[in-house]
Structure 1
Amino acid sequence: MEHNPFGYQPWREKRTFEAMFDTLEADIVVFQETKIQRKDLRDDMVLVPGWDCYFSLPKAKKGYSGVVIYTRNATCAPIRAEEGVTGVLCPPNSSTSYRDLPEEQQIGGYPTVQQLSKCGVDAAALDSEGRCVILEFPAFVLLGIYSPANRDETRDGFRLGFMNALDARIRNLVAMGKRVFVAGDLNVARGEADSASAAEAIRKRISTEDEFISTPARRLFNHMLSDGRVIGERDEGRELPVLHDICRSFHPDRRGMYTCWEQRINARPGNYGSRIDYVLCSLDMKEWFLDSNIQEGLMGSDHCPVYAVFKEFVPLRGTDVNIRDIMNPPGTFRNGQRLQEYSSKNLLPLSGRLIPEFCKRRNIKDMFLNRPYASGKDTFSGLQTQQISGSIVEQMPSTDEVKNHSMNRVSGLSKVEDRAVRKRSPAKETFASNQPKRRKYTAGTAAGIPNKSLQTNQGQQSLEGFFKPKQNKDEGMGDAEEFKEDSRLASLDIFESDSHTASMSEELQDPGSHMGPSSMGERSAAESSAETGVSETHASATVLGDETVVDPINLLDVSTTTWS
Structure 2
Amino acid sequence: MKMISWNVNGLRASLKKGFIEAFKQIDADIFCLQETKMEQGQAELDFTDYLEYWNSAQRKGYAGTAVFTKKEPLNAAFGIGIERHDQEGRVITLEFEDYYFVNVYTPNSQRELVRLDYRMEWENDFRSYLLALDANKPVILCGDLNVAHQEIDIKNAKSNRKNAGFTDQEREKMTLLLNSGFSDTFRTMHPDDHDAYSWWSQMPGVRERNIGWRIDYFLVSRRFMPQVKEAFILSEVYGSDHCPVGIIV
TM-score range with shorter-chain normalisation? 0.7 to 0.9
Query: In structure 2, do the counterparts of structure 1 residues 6 and 132 end up closer, same or farther at CA, with 3 Å as the change threshold?
Result: closer
* C-alpha deviation, 1:6, in angstroms: 5.1
Aligned residue identity for 2:169:
P
Deviation for aligned residue 1:158: 1.9
Partner of 1:25: 27
SS in 2 for 1:193: helix
Q: 1:244 to 1:67 in 2, by over 3 A?
A: same
Question: Does 1:169 pair with 2:170?
Answer: no
The question of 1:195 aligning with 2:195 is answered: no
Q: Which residue identity does 1:220 align to in structure 2?
A: K
Q: 1:215 aligns with which of 153, 168, 171?
A: 168
Give how far 1:245 is off.
0.8
Q: Given the two structures, how large is their TM-score scaled by the length of structure 2?
A: 0.87
Amino acid at match of 1:166: F
> 1:216 is matched by which residue type in structure 2?
Q
**Aligned-partner Cα distance in 2 for 1:241–1:294:** 25
- Structure 2 segments unaligned to the other structure (5+ residues): 1-8
Is residue 277 from structure 1 mapped to residue 240 from structure 2 by the alignment?
no
Query: Equivalences for 1:345-494 in 2 at 5 Å?
Result: none
What is the Cα deviation at residue 4 of structure 1? 4.5
**Alpha-carbon distance change, 29 to 180 in structure 1, aligned in 2, over 3 angstroms:** same
Structure 2 contact 91–103 (Cα < 8 Å) conserved: yes
CA contact (8 A) 2:139 2:220 kept: yes
Q: CA deviation at 1:150?
A: 2.1
Q: CA deviation at 1:7?
A: 5.5
3-state DSSP class of the match of 1:286? helix
Which residue of 1 is the match for residue 51 of structure 2?
A: 52
Question: What letter corresponds to residue 168 of structure 2 in structure 1?
Answer: T
| 1:451 aligned partner | none
Query: What is the CA-CA distance between 1:37 and the residue it aligns to?
Result: 3.5
- Residue 157 of structure 1 pairs with residue 117 of structure 2: yes
CA distance in 2, matches of 1:185, 1:213: 14
- The structure-2 alpha-carbon separation of the partners of 1:265 and 1:20, relative to structure 1 and needing over 3 Å to count, comes to closer
1:320-331 mapped onto 2 (5 Å cutoff): none
CA drift at 1:293:
0.7
Q: Residue in 2 aligned with 1:36?
A: 38
Please report how far the alpha carbon of residue 25 of structure 1 lies from its aligned counterpart in structure 2 after TM superposition: 2.2
What is residue 177 of structure 2 aligned with on the other side?
224
Q: Secondary structure at the match of 1:278?
A: strand
Between 285-294 and 147-156, report the one with greater CA deviation. Answer: 147-156
The one of 82, 87, 91 equivalent to 2:77 is 82
Cα distance in 2 for partners of 1:68, 1:20 equals: 16
- For 1:219, the aligned partner's letter is E
Query: Taking every aligned residue pair, what percent have the same amino acid on both sides?
Result: 30
Q: Deviations over 1:123-180 (max 9, x none)?
A: 312110110111000111011000011213331122112211111011122223x100
Offset, 1:308: 0.2
Task: Please name the residue that 2:64 is paired with.
Answer: 66
Q: Is the 8 A contact 2:153 2:197 kept in 1?
A: yes
> What is the match of residue 267 of structure 1?
206
C-alpha contact 2:147 2:166 (8 A) present in aligned 1:
no
Instruction: Determine if contact 1:142/1:182 at 8 Å carries over to the other structure.
Output: yes
- Which residue of structure 2 lines up, in the alignment, with residue 536 of structure 1? none
Structure holding more helix per residue: 1
Partner amino acid, structure 1, of 2:56: L
Q: Which residue of 1 aligns with 2:144?
A: 185
The TM-score, its normalising length taken from structure 1, stands at: 0.40
Confirm or deny: 8 A CA contact 2:39 2:54 kept in the other structure. Answer: no
> Could you tell me how far apart the structure 2 residues matched to 1:4 and 1:214 are?
30
- Give the ranges of 4+ consecutive aligned residues of structure 1 lying more than 2 Å apart after TM superposition: 1-8, 19-22
Contact 2:65–2:104 (Cα < 8 Å) also in 1: yes
Alpha-carbon shift at residue 82 of structure 1 (Å): 0.6
Q: Per-residue deviation at 1:214?
A: 6.8
Residue deviations 1:491-514, cap 9 Å, x none? xxxxxxxxxxxxxxxxxxxxxxxx
Partner-residue secondary structure (3-state), 2:194: coil
Instruction: Determine the C-alpha separation between the residues in 2 that align with 1:299 and 1:126.
Output: 30
State the SS of the aligned residue for 2:66.
Answer: strand
**DSSP-derived class of the 1:254 partner:** coil
Partner letter of residue 51 of structure 1?
Y
State the secondary structure of the residue aligned to 2:69. strand
| 3-state secondary structure, aligned to 1:299 | coil
In the other structure, the counterpart of 2:6 is none
Q: Distance in 1 between matches of 2:213 and 2:48?
A: 35
Give the 5 Å matches for 1:295-314: 295-310=234-249
Q: Tell me what 1:293 maps to.
A: 232
Kept in 1, the 8 Å contact 2:22–2:237? The answer is: no
More strand by share: 2
Checking the alignment, whether the CA contact within 8 Å between 1:263 and 1:302 is kept in structure 2 is yes
Amino acid aligned to 1:170: L
Q: Secondary structure at the match of 2:108?
A: coil
Question: Displacement of 1:41 after TM fit?
Answer: 2.3
How many residues of Structure 1 are paired with residues of Structure 2 in the alignment? 237
Aligned equivalent of 1:363:
none
Letter in 1 for 2:156: S
Q: How far did 1:63 drift?
A: 1.4
Output one character per residue of 1:199-224: Cα deviation in whole Å (capped at 9) or x when no partner: x549xxxx69xxx9772221011111
What is the CA–CA distance in structure 1 between the aligned matches of 2:96 and 2:201, rounded to whole Å?
36
Deviation string for 1:74-130 (max 9, x for gaps)?
A: xx2100001002x2xxxxxxxxxxxxxxxxxxxxxxxxxxxxxxxxxxx31211011
Aligned counterparts, 1:495-534, within 5 A: none
